[in-house]
Amino acid sequence: MPPSTPALGTAEARCRPHESGPALIVDVDGLKDRVGVVRAELYPARDGDFLADDNVLVGQGKTFRRAVLAVPATGPVSLCLRVPGPGTYALSVVHARDGGHGFSPLHDGIGFASNPKLGHAKPHADQASVAVHAGLTTTHVVMNYRSGLFSFAPLKR
């Protein structure tokens, strides 16, 4: 299996200028601040594969795509992920405020396609899925940050 690195899945996900798709445009709202990076990751829409180790997914020939964007100082935050074909995929978005590759539940934000209400556990794949069409498909993700001891919610503004 290929070694797991922060770049795994990024070349396959890279959208090209004037490419018609299939691709997923992820518009991100509700950021806590304008620091760090936003990382969108696309998985098969199956519970056993959703949020699984990227190295394992790639090694098994399953879909895994990753796009990383430095959070812009102002304006909209949008990422593009090229997908292998039309279909339903599960999507997670992480706001890594320190710019790192991991996820810190104390400091970082998380969001999913379909914007499920988060509690103490990650959502099921079908709750975080998006149907991608043959062309460009746009989805909107609202970020969630730690709220209380164990749950996550959108920021109250």
The tens digit of pLDDT for each residue in 57-85 reads 998 999 999 999 999 999 999 999 999 99
- pLDDT of residue 86 exceeding 90: yes
Query: pLDDT averaged over the chain?
Result: 90
Residues 72, 60: Cα–Cα separation, whole Å: 35
End-to-end Cα, the chain, rounded Å: 45
Write the DSSP string, 92-124: EEEEETTS-SS--TTT-EEEETT-PPP-SSPPP
Q: What is the pTM of this model?
A: 0.90
**Maximum pairwise Cα distance, the chain:** 45
- Considering the chain, what percentage of its residues have pLDDT values greater than 70? 91
Averaged pLDDT for residues 9-27: 80
Output the CA–CA distances (angstroms, integers) from residue 64 to 33, 83, 90, 138, 152, in the order listed.
27, 9, 10, 18, 25
CA 53 from centroid of its chain's CA atoms: 14
- pLDDT of residue 3 exceeding 60: no
Q: What is the pLDDT of residue 1?
A: 45
Give the domain ranges of the chain.
Answer: 22-148
> 16: pLDDT confidence band, cut at 50, 70 and 90?
confident
Residues 79, 152: Cα–Cα separation, whole Å: 22
Q: What is the pLDDT of residue 152?
A: 87
- pLDDT of residue 121 exceeding 90: no
